[in-house]
């Protein structure tokens, strides 16, 4: 890397304090308009740059990576999920990749609980009714939802975020079950009072709520396909704050429409910002616009992580949040 300030291309507008610090430390090329860039625009913007800072809205696929100039040595992602970056292609070009784990764990877990409660207590549906002016007043049998305490939550993916969800829902009186590639250490399992299911299909068939908290990889693409969704009980709810591609969205919409699944709370979608049209007309699904990490504190902390990753890479240390291809 050169001795002058590293040239850093940022694809989207980041929080004010983050951009200001980037200007102080780097020769930062910011995107003041915040309009997502096309691949050609990214290539033009990284001419002579050393670092690219993308977000989930940028498709950093092998085609784009192959076109990056040799000066680009680091892709410092603003976000923890790196499914939009072709790690193999980056590796082949010896371009390091970093992400921002840890700092958005609590925010994303909070959003999971928000959606779990909103879906089971019909909050969005109620809000729509009140705004429509058609609410006729309280009645003993009106807009009845489901209690969450005493219910079973099955967490798919018991990493940082999954565990943070487990800690929260324990406070609501839920019992925690989980499926994960690897079983947790028994001390962690005991602390969370969590029950491990090696077999995902079996877990799904026994749960009242299911929360997706795993990354999107080749292995988890459409993990909840039509067949698996059909294993859920008719009173079950599905919550997804991870990645839309993990659920077969069309199948979910069909099962929700036929009341074969009670409800869903979704923060992420297969083809963001497009949403499966069939979902839009359903009252038993709460739809959020990818807000998992959307807190002032979270977004600033993510930016700070990006800066630390760039700084340590430029100083020839191995950045703490380096992502390796598995």
Residues within the interface to ligand 8YV (CB under 6 A): 55-56, 78-81, 104, 292-293
Nearest residue (CB) to ligand 8YV, 9 versus 262: 9
Judged by DSSP in three states, 180 sits in coil
Give me the catalytic one of 272, 304, 311, 322: 272
Confirm if 33 and 47 have CB atoms less than 8 A apart. no
Q: How far is CA 66 from CA 9, 31, 61, 308, in A?
A: 17, 23, 9, 26
Q: CB-hemisphere CA count at 13 Å for 139?
A: 6
Distance CA 263, CA 31 (A): 39
Shortest gap between Cβ of 115 and ligand 8YV (angstroms)?
A: 14
Q: Which residue is nearest to ligand 8YV (CB)?
A: 79
Extract the runs of DSSP E, i.e. beta strands, from the chain.
7-10, 27-29, 51-53, 74-76, 96-98, 152-156, 175-179, 194-196, 209-212, 237-240, 263-266, 285-287
Nearest residue (CB) to ligand 8YV, 29 versus 243: 243
Confirm if 261 and 255 have CB atoms less than 8 A apart. yes
Q: Does the annotation mark 243 as catalytic?
A: yes
Distance CA 54, CA 68 (A): 13
Shortest gap between Cβ of 134 and ligand 8YV (angstroms)?
A: 35
Give me the catalytic one of 177, 216, 228, 290: 290
Is residue 249 reached through a cis peptide bond, with omega within 30 degrees of 0 on the bond before it? no
Q: Does the annotation mark 254 as catalytic?
A: no
Shortest gap between Cβ of 189 and ligand 8YV (angstroms)?
A: 25
Candidates 259, 266, 313; CA nearest to 286 is: 266
Q: Does the annotation mark 274 as catalytic?
A: no
CA angle centred on 132, ends 128 and 137, rounded to 5°: 90
Give me the catalytic one of 177, 243, 270, 299: 243
Number of neighbours of residue 148 by Cβ within 10 angstroms: 20
Shortest gap between Cβ of 101 and ligand 8YV (angstroms)?
A: 9
Judged by DSSP in three states, 88 sits in helix
Q: What are the tokens at 172?
A: 């609501």
Nearest residue (CB) to ligand 8YV, 56 versus 164: 56
Shortest gap between Cβ of 279 and ligand 8YV (angstroms)?
A: 19
Nearest residue (CB) to ligand 8YV, 79 versus 197: 79
Shortest gap between Cβ of 52 and ligand 8YV (angstroms)?
A: 13
Judged by DSSP in three states, 281 sits in coil
> Checking phi first, is residue 73 left (phi over 0); if not, alpha (psi -120 to 50) or beta?
alpha
Nearest residue (CB) to ligand 8YV, 154 versus 244: 244
Nearest residue (CB) to ligand 8YV, 293 versus 309: 293
Residues marked active site are found at: 243, 272, 290
């Amino acid at each position: 890397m050169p001795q002058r300030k590293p040239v850093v291309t940022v694809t989207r507008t980041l929080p004010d304090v983050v951009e200001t610090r980037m200007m102080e430390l780097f020769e930062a090329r910011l995107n003041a308009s915040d309009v997502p860039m096309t691949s050609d625009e990214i290539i033009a913007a990284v001419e002579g740059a050393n670092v690219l800072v993308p977000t989930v809205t940028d498709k950093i696929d092998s085609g784009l990576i192959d076109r990056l100039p040799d000066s680009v040595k680091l892709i410092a992602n603003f976000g923890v999920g790196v499914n939009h970056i072709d790690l193999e292609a980056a590796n082949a070009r010896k371009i390091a990749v970093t992400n921002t784990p840890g700092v958005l764990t609590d925010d994303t877990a909070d959003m999971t609980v928000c959606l779990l409660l909103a879906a089971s207590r019909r909050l969005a549906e109620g809000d729509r009714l009140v705004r429509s002016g058609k609410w006729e007043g309280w009645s003993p049998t009106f807009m009845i939802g489901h209690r969450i305490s005493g219910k079973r939550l099955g967490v798919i993916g018991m990493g940082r975020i999954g565990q943070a969800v487990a800690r929260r829902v324990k406070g609501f009186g839920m019992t925690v079950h989980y499926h994960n590639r690897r079983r947790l250490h028994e001390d962690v399992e005991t602390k969370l009072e969590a029950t491990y299911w090696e077999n995902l299909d079996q877990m799904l068939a026994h749960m009242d709520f299911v929360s997706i908290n795993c990354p999107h990889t080749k292995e988890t693409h459409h993990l909840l396909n039509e067949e698996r969704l059909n294993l859920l009980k008719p009173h079950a709810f599905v919550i997804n704050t991870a990645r839309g591609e993990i659920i077969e969205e069309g199948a979910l919409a069909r099962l929700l429409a036929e009341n074969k699944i009670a409800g869903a709370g979704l923060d992420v979608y297969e083809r963001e910002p497009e949403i499966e049209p069939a979902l839009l007309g359903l009252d038993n699904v709460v739809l959020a616009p990818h807000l998992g990490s959307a807190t002032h504190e979270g977004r600033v902390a993510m930016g700070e992580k990006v800066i630390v990753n760039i700084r340590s890479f430029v100083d020839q240390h191995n950045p703490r949040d380096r992502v390796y291809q598995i």
